[in-house]
Amino acid sequence: MRLSKIGYPLSMLAALLTILLNIIWTLVSGSSRDFVTIAGVLMFALASTLHAYTRFGSQFAIRLLATVLPLTLAIEILGVSTGFPFGEYKYDMLRLGPTAAGVPFLIPFAWMMMIYPASLVAREFKQRPLLTVFIGGLLMATWDLFLDPQMVNEGYWTWFSAGSPVSEIPISNFLGWFTAASFVLWLTSKTIPENLWLSKQPSSYVAQAPYVSIMWVWLGSFLANIVPISPFLAQPLVAIQGFVGMGFVLIPWSRQRWSAR
């Protein structure tokens, strides 16, 4: 059986397994949590890649991977080496798998897993190319309002100010995320024909993996942070800022998508 015939069910399966791994993450600790973190990122990236392959074809998926993975690795290497564009930070060199120049190879897959659904949402919400770059960049940057506090608390990376570790996440990180993500989105729009992105979307439920994934990131992260009891994260400020930030795009997009059905 050709992959294109079962790609949507496989992408949805990978998305549901990602959700399961995210839930398991809250219940484990230590090296088990590190393993689940890595598995969750790779499973989410697989869901995005399978969907891209099935909906748009193998050349599209290859171009997307060939653009996003090396480009985001280069951006992250620049970031840890110079502090630009995010601020001064360092990754833990042991807990997220093999590294290159101070950056775990896992990190570009974390970019890939979200860049694809963010691109779909942005292009469906507003079909003007430059506006979709802005919307996608904003969606990626506001996702980090959830991600960064959680990962810093886990010790996966550490922020510095004047060479000393700090507990605060600098505003430069948000601006850097927006700038870097917008650049990646702009470049993918140049390397991948726009008419492909805007082709008619499939309506079957098993073809909705990217949308299930991004809504889970938004609502699941809100739930995980807002509940004040273990094993939840009990970070209400993080919950509210991430919910409002991502919701700035996802709420009107959801209404638009629902009304179009």
Q: Where in the sequence is the domain holding 11, given as residue range(s)?
A: 3-260
Tell me if 246 sits within 8 A of 141, measured CB to CB.
no
Distance CA 257, CA 170 (A): 35
Distance CA 138, CA 175 (A): 10
Flag whether pLDDT at 53 surpasses 60.
Answer: yes
pLDDT (tens digit, 9 = 90+) per residue, 138-192?
999 999 999 999 999 999 999 998 788 888 899 999 999 999 999 999 998 887 7
pLDDT (tens digit, 9 = 90+) per residue, 7-47?
899 999 999 999 999 999 989 988 999 999 999 999 999 99
- Determine if the peptide bond prior to 193 is cis (ω within 30°): no
Question: What's 89's DSSP letter?
Answer: E
CA angle 257, 186, 62 (to 5 degrees): 85
Provide the domain count of the chain: 1
